Amino acid sequence: MDICGGSTRAALFNVRVTTFLGDLCLLEPDPGYCNDERKGQWWFYFNSDAGVCEKFFFYGCGGNDNKFYSLHMCNKVCGERLSPQIDIDECRGYKAVCDRNAWCSNTIGSYNCECMASYRGDGKHCTCQAFWYDGCKGRSRNIFSDYETCAQMCEETSILTRAVTSVVHYRIPRIY
């Protein structure tokens, strides 16, 4: 089966098309040893395990279809279609360096850390923030469900005292 669009095109790129492209890209490199004194030369093959084109020494006799004169051709035929788009989930693999009070979200090639509600910081370092809640705009991310949780979690109790003893009344928001 000729999937390259004719023998002229295959000959132009020195690709013998006898198998499906997906199959030829999965073949192990074959150095094509000869029974004579041929010196051979460096060619390229698609390493399907690594998902990249690599050099190998081809002697010139036989071999298989996973061989290309140039890195460009190897990448065109196999690399652009079969290179893995692997994204490691740093959050699941515990490679992310987020604070224990932060949410980790995976992104392509990286991750983001975001402090949980009632904490402030860059996500890698989150500190508990006491709050002074006066009932206005109760949409702050720095809201505890009750005073005890806030007092238990926060280190700076002087700010808590201000919240409780100020003229502004402390209101406990309901968080669902």
Q: Is the pLDDT of residue 132 over 50?
A: yes
Q: Measured between alpha carbons, how far is 40 from 37 in angstroms, rounded to an integer?
A: 9
In this predicted structure, the answer to whether residue 157 has a pLDDT above a threshold of 70 is no
- Host domain of residue 40: 7-82
Burial profile 27-52: b = 16 or more Cβ within 10 angstroms, e = fewer: bebbbbeeeeeeeeeebbbbbbeeeb
Same domain, 113 and 133: no
Residue 157 lies in a domain: yes
What residue type is 118 in one-letter code?
Answer: S
Query: Are 29 and 92 within one domain?
Result: no
Based on the fold, state whether residues 56 and 27 are members of the same structural domain: yes
Residue 34: CATH number of its domain: 4.10.410.10
How do residues 13-44 score in pLDDT, each as one tens digit? Answer: 444 444 455 588 889 999 999 988 888 899 99
Give the closest residue to 48 by CA, choosing from 30, 26, 64: 26
Residue 99, pLDDT > 80, answer: yes
Over residues 109-122, the pLDDT tens digits come to 788 898 887 788 89
- How many distinct structural domains can be found in the chain? 3
